[in-house]
Amino acid sequence: MSQFTQQIILGLLLGGIYVAVALGFSLVWGILNIVNLAHGALVIVGAYITWLLFDRLHVDPFLSLPVDALALFVLGYALQRGVINRVIRAPLLFTFLLTFGINLVIVSLVLLIFTADFRSVTPSYSGNGLHLGSVTIPYIRLGGLAVALLLAGILWAILNRTRIGAAILAVGADRDAAQLVGIDLRHIYALTFAIGAAFAGVAGGIISTSQSITPTAGDPYTLQSFAVVILGGLGRVSATVVGGLAFGLIEVLGQSAPGLGSGYAGAIAFVVLVIVLVVRPRGLLGRLA
Amino acid sequence: MTVGSLLQVDKLTAGFGLTPVLFDVDLELQPGELVAVIGANGAGKSTLLGALSGLVRLERGSVHFGDRRISGLRPEMIVASGLVHVPQGRRLFSTMTVQRNLLLGAYRRRDGRVQQDLQRILQYFPALADKLDRDAGTLSGGEQQMVAIGRGLMARPRLLMIDEPSLGLAPKVVDRVMEIVKTINQDGTAVLLVEQDVVLALEIANRGYVLENGRIAMSGAAADLRRDPAVRKAYLGV
């Protein structure tokens, strides 16, 4: 029983990372209609910034998260305004190709700067955890989940409580109508992408505390973000939260099932994804339209 | 350019891609006027409003609004100058509340009187007052049209361009919407009304333009157009 409880907790904690990673991906997809294949690269840039600050200046990884957010926000704004905006109205294939290319460029640059060596961020508390009876909750992962939920709350508040958020949602809903109320499309596009990138950066900072990072370590997170958004549904912050947590749970519970092992983690999750697509294509909480 | 015009359109040619939809359109509107643009489906009425609000690219010609040339400006700058377009089919942000839709209309305004204006505009549309927290998509067609016009008014336009407000509405509701359009105009806002319902449009307008195959075929006082045999035959079915 306590074994099962432990698995549930580990699944939710892993899910927290998926929530953090997928929030920005989901925002950019939902508003700009871009499936951003460079998302994982943005994640890993955030991870390296956290590592750099930890390694050189001994900054606590959780304290470096705002730096990740700010740096990636600026990078994201420039990337969208300077490059991606040129194909914003082009067919999906063009944005696929372009963001795939951006991913390659960023990963190569990271490789040049940081080499392919494994890096890890190991603050003094990294091996510790909360012991409740026979169940253990690692502090690092708990902090990650807390940050993920905080990010979700911030995104929800931006979208639903601010003037800029209303403009972002308006652009996502109807570009022409948004322009007719006076919204500067180019600015909102860039801002949306910048927020998505900032969230990716923070997710990267969290990830650097729980796994070793390499320049290509972000790539799987693009795919997993995609899966989380399909699972949860597009167009709602709550859907990404539910999708991320569910994805983490499925992955952890699946590999502890009899006859399966950790090698099946990815496969199980994607089988569930296919089932969701067949049975409920709009995802667990997605909007109909 | 005619002295004192609020809107002055000269030799406007515009459209999508290679083939223009509008050819050499001349149009002029005085402050405080209510001018109707009538014409059949596909005559280019909506394209004309799109060209004026910056959504449709101009190939030739110029548009002056007040004392500024606005042709070539981005749509948000045109809105900021006081020329506001209420598009065909309402185009509300349907998953947002009525209040948020209305407030988005004031997106470019930085003055502190937005809340005050919201109350003022609700006086035109009392039916909306207790529906501010509903999602706009859940309202009836007539109410949605009111939100669309209200959203346009929230920008404090000097000229409000309304595209087919009667589309898809029950006759009684159409009358109510037209009454509101007229009241808005009487309160000082100039209106450019695009309408397929020619009878209604010429009833409330001061002047009218008849658009045929992308060209201005006729123009004049609304009362004269109503009596014109060609207009009667083509659009009134008599």
ipTM for the predicted complex comes to: 0.94
Measured distance CA(A285)–CA(A244) in Å, rounded: 12
* Radius of gyration of chain B measured on its C-alpha atoms: 17
Residue B235's pLDDT is 83
Q: Both tokens of residue B91? A: 């185009």
Residue A88's pLDDT is 86
Residue A203's pLDDT is 98
Burial string for B50-87 (b: 16+ CB within 10 Å, else e) reads bbbbbbbebeebebbbeeeebbebebbbbbbbbbbbbb
* Interval B18-72: pLDDT, tens: 789 999 999 999 999 999 999 988 899 999 999 999 999 999 999 999 999 999 9
Smallest Cβ distance to A177: which of B87, B95, B155? B87
Residue with tokens 């590592």: A51
φ/ψ of residue B195, rounded to 5: -150, 140
Q: Which residues contact B212 (CB under 8 A, 6 or more apart)?
A: B39, B40, B43
C-alpha B192 chain-centroid distance: 5
Query: What is the pLDDT confidence band of residue A193, given thresholds at 50, 70 and 90?
Result: very high
User: Is B60 near chain A, with CB under 8 Å?
Assistant: no
Mean pLDDT over all residues of chain A? 93
Instruction: Quote the crossing angle between the two packed helices A2-32 and A39-57, to the nearest 10°.
Output: 120
Query: What is the pLDDT confidence band of residue B83, given thresholds at 50, 70 and 90?
Result: very high
Contact A181 B80 (CB under 8 A): no
Burial string for B165-195 (b: 16+ CB within 10 Å, else e) reads bbeebeeebbebbbebbbebbeeebbbbbbb
**Amino acid making up residue B3:** V
Chain B residues whose CB is inside 8 A of the A176 CB are 55, 87, 91
* Interval A240-263: pLDDT, tens: 999 999 999 999 988 887 777 777
Report the share of chain A in percent with pLDDT over 70. Answer: 99
Query: What is the pLDDT confidence band of residue A289, given thresholds at 50, 70 and 90?
Result: very low
Question: How many Cβ atoms sit within 10 Å of the Cβ of residue A212?
Answer: 14
**Amino acid making up residue B226:** R
φ/ψ of residue A103, rounded to 5: -60, -45
What burial class does residue B89 get, using C-beta atoms within 10 Å of its C-beta: 0-12 exposed, 13-18 middle, 19+ buried? middle
Residue with tokens 């490059």: A83
Q: Where are the domains of chain A?
A: 2-216
Query: What is the pLDDT confidence band of residue B3, given thresholds at 50, 70 and 90?
Result: low
- Span A16-43, mean pLDDT? 96
Distance from CA of B231 to the nearest CA of A (A): 32
Contact B87 A176 (CB under 8 A): yes
C-alpha B153 chain-centroid distance: 11
Whether the per-residue pLDDT at A268 is higher than 50: the answer is yes
Contact B84 A287 (CB under 8 A): no
Domains assigned to chain B:
7-236 (3.40.50.300)
The residues that bridge with B83 in the sheet, in sequence order, are B159
Report the share of chain B in percent with pLDDT over 90. Answer: 89
For A197-249, give the DSSP string: HHHHHHHHHHHHHHS-B-TTTTHHHHHHHHHHHHHH-SS-HHHHHHHHHHHHH
Contact call for residues B159 and B189 (beta carbons, < 8 A): yes
Smallest Cβ distance to A181: which of B54, B95, B151? B151
Smallest Cβ distance to B55: which of A167, A170, A176? A176
Residue with tokens 């509340």: B97
Contact A180 B74 (CB under 8 A): no
Nearest chain A residue to B153, by CA = A181
Chain A residues whose CB is inside 8 A of the B55 CB are 176, 179-180
Scanning B39-58 for CB atoms below 8 A from A yields 53-55
Smallest Cβ distance to A174: which of B86, B93, B105? B93
Whether the per-residue pLDDT at B74 is higher than 90: the answer is yes
Smallest Cβ distance to A181: which of B54, B55, B155? B155
Q: Both tokens of residue A111? A: 């490789």
Nearest chain A residue to B161, by CA = A180
User: Strands B207-212, B215-221: parallel, antiparallel or unpaired by DSSP?
Assistant: antiparallel
User: Is B74 near chain A, with CB under 8 Å?
Assistant: yes
Residue A262's pLDDT is 76
Report the share of chain B in percent with pLDDT over 70. Answer: 98
Contact A180 B91 (CB under 8 A): yes
Query: What is the pLDDT confidence band of residue A272, given thresholds at 50, 70 and 90?
Result: confident
- Span A170-191, mean pLDDT? 97
Scanning A168-197 for CB atoms below 8 A from B yields 169-170, 173-174, 176-177, 179-185
The alpha-helical segments, DSSP class H, found in chain A are: 2-32, 39-57, 65-82, 92-114, 139-161, 163-173, 175-180, 185-210, 219-232, 237-255, 265-279
User: Is B98 near chain A, with CB under 8 Å?
Assistant: no
Measured distance CA(B90)–CA(B146) in Å, rounded: 9
- Reported as type and span, the H/E element at residue B212 is strand B207-212
Whether the per-residue pLDDT at B1 is higher than 60: the answer is no
Contact call for residues B15 and B22 (beta carbons, < 8 A): yes
Distance from CA of B161 to the nearest CA of A (A): 11
- Reported as type and span, the H/E element at residue B8 is strand B7-16
Contact B100 A167 (CB under 8 A): no
* Interval A113-161: pLDDT, tens: 999 999 999 999 988 998 888 888 999 999 999 999 999 999 999 999 9
* Interval B121-153: pLDDT, tens: 999 999 999 999 999 999 999 999 999 999 999
Sheet with strand B215-221: strands edge to edge: B83-86, B159-163, B190-195, B34-38, B207-212, B215-221
Measured distance CA(B22)–CA(B47) in Å, rounded: 8
* Interval A199-251: pLDDT, tens: 999 999 999 999 999 999 999 999 999 999 999 999 899 999 999 999 999 99
What burial class does residue B159 get, using C-beta atoms within 10 Å of its C-beta: 0-12 exposed, 13-18 middle, 19+ buried? buried
Residue B2's pLDDT is 58
Distance from CA of A72 to the nearest CA of B (A): 27
Contact B95 A174 (CB under 8 A): no
Contact A182 B92 (CB under 8 A): no
Whether the per-residue pLDDT at B17 is higher than 80: the answer is no
- Span B176-192, mean pLDDT? 96
